[in-house]
Amino acid sequence: MNIGERLDRLPMTPMMLKILIITGFGWLFDAMDQGMVSGVIASIGKDVQWQLTPVELGFLGSAGVLGMIIGAAASGKLADKFGRRTIILTTLLLFSLGSALCGLSVNYEMLLVCRFFTGLGLGGELPVASTLISELSSLKARGRNVIVLESFWAWGWIVAALVAYLLIPVYGWRIAFFIGAIPALFAAILRFTIPESPRYLAAQGKYHEADSIVRKMEAQAGAQYQGDYPADHLADHSAEEAFKAAPSSAEPASAKPAKMNTFIGLWRKENTRSTVVLWVLWFGINLGYYGFVLWTPSLLVIKGYDLVTSFGFTLIMCFAQLPGYASAAVLIEKIGRKPILVIYLLGTAASAWAFGQAGGTTQVLIAGCFLYFFALGAWGCVYAYTPELYPTAIRGLGVGWAAAFGRVGAFIAPMIVPVLYGFFGTELGFTFVFILLTVVFVLVALTILVFGKETKGKMLL
């Protein structure tokens, strides 16, 4: 058995649980940053000293996303070269520093630059962390584990909503960035206890390091593999097999993996379909998600609710994310990746429509809760699904570029709201924002339904 086969047969071990929890806390702090930005936008928009226009507020939301685009694209390639663990630690430290500097910003321009650097760290960390968990997980728990990791995002948003509800109205928007910086640094320290991905180590020829990590997990599970582990047994040959040349090719198969560890490798015949589907999926869900989530408090204020009430509504909606993740984690291993993605994306589309048409407080809360339930359940499935479509040799690169292209949608999304409001006015603008989001989620669901591959029960290449 090679490294991948040995990992695939293991149950949940104490080591895997520890790695999942520690990585999850880093994910939580990343989510806190994104969640608190929505509160900051709403608060700083009412700050008479800054006097920012809706367009300037939109750029503030997009500055961090621009950093996320570059961070995601760069981190994938770097993770394939230097390792998943190294890049996770580096990007988390960068995120922590950027958040602290945001709280110290003396003017709008400085805040924009600092949000960009925060985004670099945040965008680089998320796809690599999900890749690490996917590669460490067994065949039957892979999708569930990545969704459990993603579920820490909900707790981060809940903490962010509490900060927005309890602290920002009292201490101002700077407190959000200071709180977001401290725990991220703490998480980076904790992550020195996380091992490297054995699949990655085996693909790099570091067979004995990979074997040492897997042996510890096997010992905890009482499932030791008896016998010696020569290099040819330790190696994960599936990556090489994925790029193997046809029998008539004169090019050695062993030369292909190294050559394919480039952007061009994502567009080889065997990868093109996966790359196109993932780019559409990531772009659409980012455009739709950030089209409403960063603006929810502000949209509620425009709709007539005061700032504290809008923060309170957002907090209630954030709690609806938890059952969204939990249900997705259970169903993804039972009925597959494709059907769950389609169901949750269509559920998000229907909820976005209902939220845009909602009139009274009860309708706003119910539609908002369903919107957060389905949207975050879908996000969990996206992170579980993406690493499974690429071989180990280019997995970091593929996940990173999918996330990077998706962040283009997140970059555009905050600027769509003020444009629609300026064109249609506040009442019609609110409705048209969510009509647009409904269309986006439906189109993404149809793309997955028609062109997506099912990866449930399939070994990682």
Distance of alpha carbon 317 from alpha carbon 197, whole angstroms: 35
Distance of alpha carbon 326 from alpha carbon 185, whole angstroms: 28
Provide the 3-class DSSP secondary structure of residue 206. coil
Q: Mention every residue, 6+ apart, whose C-beta is less than 8 A from residue 126.
A: 27, 30, 72, 383, 403
pLDDT of residue 283: 95
> CA angle 269-270-274, nearest 5°?
105
Are the beta carbons of 365 and 316 closer than 8 angstroms?
yes
Give the pTM.
0.78
Are the beta carbons of 116 and 66 closer than 8 angstroms?
yes
Q: Mention every residue, 6+ apart, whose C-beta is less than 8 A from residue 166.
A: none
Beta strands in 168-268 (DSSP E): none
Distance of alpha carbon 220 from alpha carbon 96, whole angstroms: 34
> CA angle 227-228-234, nearest 5°?
115
Mean pLDDT by 10 residues, the chain (461 residues): 87 91 86 77 72 77 83 89 89 87 88 90 88 91 90 85 80 84 73 86 90 91 63 44 37 43 83 94 90 69 68 80 91 91 95 82 85 92 92 89 89 75 70 84 96 88 76
pLDDT of residue 243: 36
Select from 58, 18, 81, 131 the least CA-distant residue to 411: 58
Are the beta carbons of 110 and 98 closer than 8 angstroms?
no
- Centroid of chain to Cα 273: 21
Q: Within a 10 A sphere around the Cβ of 117, how many other Cβ atoms?
A: 20
Select from 66, 68, 69, 91 the least CA-distant residue to 78: 91
Are the beta carbons of 103 and 181 closer than 8 angstroms?
yes
**Based on the number of CB atoms within 10 Å of its own CB, is 188 exposed (0-12), middle (13-18) or buried (19 or more)?**
buried
Residues in the chain: 461
| Residue that the structure tokens 């629609």 belong to | 420
Distance of alpha carbon 437 from alpha carbon 79, whole angstroms: 33
Buried b (16+ CB within 10 A) or exposed e, 306-330: ebeebbbbbbebbebbbebbbbbbe
- Centroid of chain to Cα 226: 38
**Sign of dihedral through CA atoms 372, 374, 377, 381?**
negative
Distance of alpha carbon 178 from alpha carbon 103, whole angstroms: 6
pLDDT of residue 228: 53
Are the beta carbons of 229 and 207 closer than 8 angstroms?
yes
Are the beta carbons of 443 and 348 closer than 8 angstroms?
no
Distance of alpha carbon 402 from alpha carbon 279, whole angstroms: 5
What Cα–Cα distance (Å) separates residue 319 from each residue in 168, 308, 326, 365? 20, 17, 12, 12
> End-to-end alpha-carbon separation of the chain, Å?
14
Tokens of 293: 């989530």
Distance of alpha carbon 144 from alpha carbon 12, whole angstroms: 11
CATH number for the region 3-200+261-451 comes to: 1.20.1250.20
pLDDT of residue 194: 86
For the chain, the structural domain boundaries read 3-200+261-451
Tokens of 116: 């960009």
Amino acid symbol at 456 = K
**Sign of dihedral through CA atoms 208, 210, 216, 217?**
negative
pLDDT of residue 297: 67
pLDDT of residue 381: 93
